[in-house]
Chains A and B, each alone.
Chain A
Amino acid sequence: MAKNKFAGIHIDDNKLSKDVAITRLDAPKVVYIPLSQHIGKHASSIVKVGDSVLKGQLIAQSPNPDDLSAKIFSSVSGIVSGINIKRPATSGIANHIQIENDFKYEQFVLPKLIDPSIEEIIDRVYESGIVGMGGAGFPTHIKLKVGDEIDTLIVNGIECEPYITCDYRLMLEYTQEMLQGILLIAKCVKASTVLLCIKQNTSLANHLNQAIVSNSQYNNIVVKQLQSIYPLGSEKQLIYAATGRKVPALGLPKAVGVVVSNVATSYSVYNAVVNGITSYERLVTVTGRCVNKPCNVWVSNGTPIEHLLDYAEIDPNIVVKIVIGGPMMGTALDNTQISTTKIINCILALTKLETSYSVPSECINCSLCAKTCPMKLMPMFIVKYGNVDDASNSAKYGAKDCIECGCCSFVCPAKIPLVAEIRNAKKVVAKAEKKKKV
């Protein structure tokens, strides 16, 4: 697919945990489950202090089922010892439910569905609280409710960010389950073609192709290897690279007849529909040059990330930065109390050498940021006009279209934190638009 090229950057892969098989981390004595693990409205607790819950039992949901929200489940069996506990989360302080683990792991399962209809699948996805596991956390049941205009389902197995390997390991070790999940999603969106997109990797492609050939069910799934360039995993860029269709600016993939889903989401859908298991755990990569044992582990939601770092044998002397998510788009943390959620796919402990921070200097107008922007924006002008509150010019050069992939900051020779400044420019533009409406 050489013709559907977009600008971007080449980064060292640094997939340290690529060959480490998936393991399971037991839940700690106490878990703190955040009430917001998705985009949209926060769920509200439906349990009281002292209630005993099972593993996988519903503990929080939004009162109105039509809301943009997802259900939240207990990840251990035990006693609820606190609700609405304020604890740090990735975005400030948030409410958590505290559950004491009784280490019995009694499981709550929904009835298994055999040969389900579309409505049944979507309903089950809603009942299991599945959200997009690529990192955005968009509730999947809403994504699956599409009209008839969809003809292609793209399954995103790219993992264009460096370090992260959990999707790669999932594709290797849970191939059949994932493919079944893909079929279920394809059925919901009535897609005739399914493109399973992966990075250029012959051995993985062969592995997937073997699995697909072995069963005639998978006939319409095509494995597509795409040239590795960051940000290939970004929705709009992926659609363009795989199909040649351009999603309209500020539009949704639906507009070009495509639905994009993640491989981890497909696996969750399979588990929910076939096994009746709700979404309370996920695969997390713990990596970085500060950990002695980079690994891919199944982690119960609500586990504080310090347990994961301990499990991966972190060296506290050399760590300077802990990041949730990938190094390009993740969030740096100031403490390790934060709980894992459905959408945290990677925990990175970076050394001083890996991360780098230097004092920003003046822009020299080299226009490298504009050349590498996959959205073809002009970051230096967005920032320049954003900084002086000129909303109309900032929007003209694309403040609203920015996907915050971080390519511009990555290549900037003056080390200007362009992404952070573009976020400010976005606020300026949003404020001006609000003012205009009033």
Chain B
Amino acid sequence: MQLSLDPQLIGSSPHIVKRDHSTKAIMLDVVIALIPVIVFSVFFFGYLVLVNIVVCILSCFLAELCFNLLNHRLRPEQASYSKSSVHNLSFLVTAILLALNLPVYTDIWGWSWHSDAMMYLSFDTIIICIVGSIFAIVVCKMLFGGLGQNFANPACTTRVFLLIAFTGSMMAHVPNLLFGANTGGLYLTTGASWLGMTGDSVYNTAMHGRTFWNMFIGYTQSAAVGETSVFAIILGYGYLVFKKRIDWRLPLILIGATAIFAMLFGFVDNRVDYTDISVVFGYSLAQVMSGGLIFGAVFMATDYSTSPNSFCGNIIFVCCIAFFTIFIRTFSAWQEGFSFALLLGNVISPMIDRYVYPRKFGLVKHSSRRKFS
């Protein structure tokens, strides 16, 4: 009997691998988990959200493909469409996360098609989406070596970049339009929901049960489109946990730590009346449900390549993020601190990996080893 065994296939053990398990499948699962968020944001903000998402997806796709083609001298293995890294679909996740992290529209140069009551199409926003996509893909991801090599979350870094780059030029026209406080009227765009308010309104709105319900469902008037509906994010979280794509404990630890830090910092900043326990909890809850925290906790702090690789390291990582978030929200001029906090967390995550790693099986302390030998 003569068998024709292909020498190419004689590989190292193991000879079987997990089925339907690939980078692409993971990315697709994240996209599926983002669908409820997309649906809810379209419901609250209108079709312009879809326009943003499509623009981001197209420009991310083209940015990554062009980078692959132009980079043929350093990475010849990716320098054609069929071999390009776009096939791992990570650009799709970046694009959708980015679009969901932007306001539904912005007004910088006033290039838009609108009536008094309605915004039909905002060319400013489309330009912002394209600039953001190129920044996210090229600067944040591909220049570091592509998927898995980037140290900071592309969507989050881009959000911070746009926030800083465009606040100045916008200040003259509409204060704090991008990620700013709610301005009312026509340009009902993004503030980190409740965070823009100060003073007495904090108590009054926060303590109102109806406000919490609105925050949970997503009836906040101003926010980045993806982060409004806690309910939609919980649906996505459930899917990711069900498919075992993320560790279910980490978003909860992050949210819990934020709540605790919010209580402590509320005391420091004299924002909260500590004689009334319900105010304390209300304040914590409002902090947690505001801004990009829950969205980021589920979809961005669990990003594989920018978080530490051990569970203990991840706990330190999310606690740092929680601390920075509340610190920035309490003392900084920015109302929303989560993006900055996540970026800071990304920066320290390689250091965490260096010092925090699991103890090997059987590596016991000296005293207990003596017991058996």
Query: Which residues from chain A sit less than 8 Å from chain B, CB to CB?
Result: 6, 9, 11, 162, 236-237, 240, 245-249, 251, 255-257, 306, 309-310, 314, 316, 319-323, 325, 327-336, 348, 350, 354-358, 361-367, 370-371, 374-378, 380-381, 396-398, 401, 404, 406, 409-415, 417, 419-420, 423
Any chain A CB within 8 A of the CB of B198? Answer: no
Query: Which residue of the partner chain B has the closest CB to A335?
Result: B5
Among B1-22, those with CB < 8 Å from A are 1-7, 9-19, 21-22
Asked if A320 contacts B5 (CB within 8 A), the reply is yes
Given A306-B1, A362-B146, A370-B358, A355:B10 Cβ within 8 A: no
Among B289-311, those with CB < 8 Å from A are 304-305, 309-311
Any chain A CB within 8 A of the CB of B26? Answer: yes
Given A328-B16, A414-B23, A248:B9 Cβ within 8 A: no
| Distance A371 CA – B3 CA, assembled complex (angstroms) | 39
Q: How far is the CB of A92 from chain B (nearest CB, A)?
A: 13
Looking at the complex, which one of B7, B15, B357 makes contact with A327 (CB distance below 8 Å)?
B15
Q: Which residues of A contact B373 (CB under 8 A)?
A: 248, 255
Pairs A–B under 8 Å by Cβ, sample size 19: A9-B18, A249-B360, A251-B362, A255-B372, A257-B372, A306-B1, A320-B9, A327-B14, A328-B16, A332-B9, A332-B10, A334-B10, A350-B16, A376-B358, A376-B359, A377-B358, A404-B13, A414-B148, A419-B14
Any chain A CB within 8 A of the CB of B363? Answer: yes
Q: Which residues of B contact A348 (CB under 8 A)?
A: 15
Q: How far is the CB of B38 from chain A (nearest CB, A)?
A: 23
Asked if A419 contacts B12 (CB within 8 A), the reply is yes
Q: How far is the CB of B40 from chain A (nearest CB, A)?
A: 27
Asked if B304 contacts A365 (CB within 8 A), the reply is yes
Asked if B16 contacts A410 (CB within 8 A), the reply is yes
Most chain A CB within a 10 A radius of its CB, from B10, B15, B18, B359: B15
Query: Which residue of the partner chain B has the closest CB to A407?
Result: B14
Any chain A CB within 8 A of the CB of B211? Answer: no
Looking at the complex, which one of A11, A240, A365 makes contact with B305 (CB distance below 8 Å)?
A365
Provide the B333-369 mask, 1 if CB < 8 A to any CB of A, else 0.
Answer: 0000000000000000000010001111111100001
Our count of residue pairs bridging A and B at CB distance below 8 angstroms stands at: 174
Any chain A CB within 8 A of the CB of B214? Answer: no
Asked if A367 contacts B310 (CB within 8 A), the reply is yes
Q: Which residues of B contact A310 (CB under 8 A)?
A: 1
Given A355-B16, A363-B148, A365-B304, A248:B364 Cβ within 8 A: yes
Q: Which residues of B contact A414 (CB under 8 A)?
A: 22-23, 148
Asked if A376 contacts B360 (CB within 8 A), the reply is yes
Looking at the complex, which one of B9, B18, B22 makes contact with A321 (CB distance below 8 Å)?
B9
Asked if B360 contacts A375 (CB within 8 A), the reply is yes
Provide the B184-208 mask, 1 if CB < 8 A to any CB of A, else 0.
Answer: 0000000000000000000000000
Asked if B361 contacts A236 (CB within 8 A), the reply is yes
Q: On chain B, which size bracket covers the interface? A: 35 or more
Looking at the complex, which one of B1, B21, B362 makes contact with A246 (CB distance below 8 Å)?
B362
Q: Which 5 A-B residue pairings sit nearest by Cβ, starting from the closest?
A: A406-B14, A420-B12, A367-B309, A364-B148, A365-B305
Any chain A CB within 8 A of the CB of B58? Answer: no
Q: Which residues of B contact A410 (CB under 8 A)?
A: 14, 16-18
Q: How far is the CB of B85 from chain A (nearest CB, A)?
A: 8
Any chain A CB within 8 A of the CB of B25? Answer: yes
Q: How far is the CB of A302 from chain B (nearest CB, A)?
A: 18
Given A310-B1, A334-B5, A413-B22, A364:B364 Cβ within 8 A: no
Give the interface SS of chain B, mostly helix, strand, loop or mixed.
Answer: loop
Q: Which residues of B contact A245 (CB under 8 A)?
A: 372
Q: Which residues of A contact B362 (CB under 8 A)?
A: 236, 246-249, 251, 375, 401
Asked if B11 contacts A375 (CB within 8 A), the reply is no
Q: How far is the CB of A55 from chain B (nearest CB, A)?
A: 26
Looking at the complex, which one of A240, A378, A412 makes contact with B309 (CB distance below 8 Å)?
A378
Q: Which residues of A contact B14 (CB under 8 A)?
A: 327-329, 406, 409-410, 419
Given A334-B7, A355-B15, A367-B304, A397:B363 Cβ within 8 A: no
| Distance A237 CA – B11 CA, assembled complex (angstroms) | 26
| Distance A378 CA – B352 CA, assembled complex (angstroms) | 14
Any chain A CB within 8 A of the CB of B147? Answer: yes
Given A357-B11, A366-B304, A411-B21, A322:B3 Cβ within 8 A: yes
Most chain A CB within a 10 A radius of its CB, from B311, B359, B373: B373
Among B141-156, those with CB < 8 Å from A are 145-149
Any chain A CB within 8 A of the CB of B88? Answer: yes
Q: Which residues of B contact A334 (CB under 8 A)?
A: 5, 7, 10
Query: Which residue of the partner chain A has the closest CB to B26?
Result: A413
| Distance A357 CA – B10 CA, assembled complex (angstroms) | 10
Among B112-151, those with CB < 8 Å from A are 145-149
Asked if B15 contacts A332 (CB within 8 A), the reply is yes
Q: Which residues of B contact A321 (CB under 8 A)?
A: 5, 9-10, 15
Asked if B360 contacts A333 (CB within 8 A), the reply is no
| Distance A132 CA – B361 CA, assembled complex (angstroms) | 24
| Distance A331 CA – B12 CA, assembled complex (angstroms) | 7
Q: Which residues of B contact A365 (CB under 8 A)?
A: 148, 304-305, 309
Asked if B12 contacts A350 (CB within 8 A), the reply is no
Besides A357-B11, A365-B304, A410-B17, 7 new A-B residue pairs in contact (Cβ under 8 A), listed by A number: A240-B361, A248-B369, A248-B373, A255-B372, A362-B146, A376-B359, A378-B309
Q: How far is the CB of B13 from chain A (nearest CB, A)?
A: 5
Asked if A256 contacts B372 (CB within 8 A), the reply is yes
Looking at the complex, which one of A9, A336, A362 makes contact with B3 (CB distance below 8 Å)?
A336
Most chain A CB within a 10 A radius of its CB, from B7, B9, B16, B359: B16
Asked if B22 contacts A415 (CB within 8 A), the reply is yes
| Distance A361 CA – B86 CA, assembled complex (angstroms) | 12
Q: Which residues of B contact A380 (CB under 8 A)?
A: 309
| Distance A432 CA – B147 CA, assembled complex (angstroms) | 32
